[in-house]
Amino acid sequence: MDPTTGPLLGFYDYDLLVIGGGSGGLAAAKVAAGLRKKVLILDLMAPSARGIKRGLGGSSFNADSIRKYLQQTSLLGIAINDSQMYGWKFKEEVSHGWSDLVQAVQEQVKSSTVELKRELKSCGVIYLNAWGVIVGPHTVEVTETNGRKRCLTAETLLIATGDRPQYLGIPGDKEYCLTSEDLPSLHHPPGRTLVVGGSAEGLEWAGFLFGLGMSVTVMLQPDLLPGFDCKMAEKIENHMIVGGVNFLYHCSLTKVKQTEDVISAPPQHLSKGRLQVTVMYKDGQTKHEDFDTVLLTVGRKACTSDIGLECVGVQCSQDTGRILVNERDQTNIDYIYAVGSVQHGHPATTGLSVHAGRLLARRLYGGESILCDYTNVPTVMLTPLEYAACGLTEEKANLTFGENSIEVYHSFYWPMEWTLPSRHKNSCYVKVICHIPEQERVVGLHIMGPNAGDVLQGFVTAMKCGLTKQQLDATVGIHPGSAQVLTSLNQTRRMTDALMLRGNC
């Protein structure tokens, strides 16, 4: 068969061929196979610069699992300290074993990969640990791990290759710095750590490591939580500063070098050695400082550059490299679709990718027409004080509707489980953003506190149904519990600003 002309007479090897093992692609594949379609998944990603391989499920699925494990590890450390106020006594000193944690996490990730493969097989999906590159219309060249090549055809192609952490392109970054893909495989404690980047990923890792007793410094390169609600971002930052995390401002990392001999440590490409970083400030001054570990969290790059998209003319954003799609998750090439973090202009969460993948398969093969709604997508940040949000930020709401059309209700609260150990009375916080002309319809909801993501989940459904402030007020709160604070909000941003202005007079 000539790969430049595509299959003859419309006969294809597969109905659906998924390039990449991202969570959205897996979800679409399982639904399509359940609808009696012949489905193939090709998933072989290059290892990180430090040699760490990525498991099936894509960056979001595996990273989310690891994030949750590490958050729980950190929270358990806090709980141990709190437990003394609840009457618990320990016969011996409590300490944390980093290598034990790493081993347990890696075993769980491997177990999840095995379970995913078992699910695919039971659904009838064919899975190949192979590299796929588009070489012509409906045609993909498959390269297996043994080097064998062959061409396969499919009526529909789905791109679900996900994204990978970016590097800075400075001397020493790939040689000595780690990314979020590498750190969970580090078999020695990270020690004094510099986290480069003010992203959600960066603040989460800073919180995890600090909670395990590491000295952590965050370099906000370039900004603090870009795209998130500014006032919420400041509260998260303040909570971390009060807790003991250091922050560096108005500077950038320009060089990393090793200053001490390397001590070998498994896996083979991860090693232990003192690192010297060069930091340049806005005024041109430079400063040198030593760390044990430098973690880069400066954004993620879509895995779209080497899968043959240009061969058939799939359009990508010049700025992000992510694939341009329409409301049907369809590219400009009618038989090629994309889901997950490879899409340009859409949020990237595991839950959204899975939801979009399922809906896509049902539209393609199940006779359904429901589109994925990319608005009001809930998200959670597993920082030391968990943050969850759905809908608009306060800044976006003011820009969209105008400040006079927006009412913001907010309040601090003190979880009851925090009262005995006297933990941070004014840290937990909620904010509800309402559009006044629509009977104060809730257009944004933000929660900062324990289990914020779980608290938010039910309110997301209510927001999809047009939740209003009046309906929130009419809801019976569950006592004792933190979520009830959302049913009794009476303080507005305007009232708070007026009080502050009066107090400054």
What is the β-pairing status of strands 275-281 and 251-258?
antiparallel
3-state secondary structure 355-371: HHHHHHHHHHHCCCCCC
3-state secondary structure 394-405: HHHHHHHHCHHH
Q: Which of 312, 311, 313, 342 is nearest to 329 (CA)?
A: 342
Residue in this structure with the two tokens 């309402």, named with its chain if needed: 434
- Tokens coding 126: 């064919």
DSSP state of 50: T
Backbone angles phi, psi at 409, to 5 degrees: -100, 135
Rounded Cα distance between 69 and 484, Å, is 27
CB 414 within 8 A of CB 425: yes
In this structure, the chain runs to a length of: 505
435 labelled catalytic: no
What is the β-pairing status of strands 271-272 and 387-391?
unpaired
Rounded Cα distance between 373 and 471, Å, is 23
Q: How far is CA 162 from CA 59, 94, 269, in A?
A: 6, 40, 24
Neighbours of 222 (CB within 10 A): 13
Backbone angles phi, psi at 54, to 5 degrees: -100, 135
Rounded Cα distance between 34 and 267, Å, is 39
Rounded Cα distance between 412 and 26, Å, is 41
- Tokens coding 240: 């971390």
Concatenated DSSP letters for 387-440?
Answer: EEEEE--HHHHHHHH-GGGEEEEEEEE--GGGTTTT--TT-EEEEEEEEGGGTS
Rounded Cα distance between 385 and 376, Å, is 22
- Tokens coding 154: 């499919």
Catalytic residues: 479
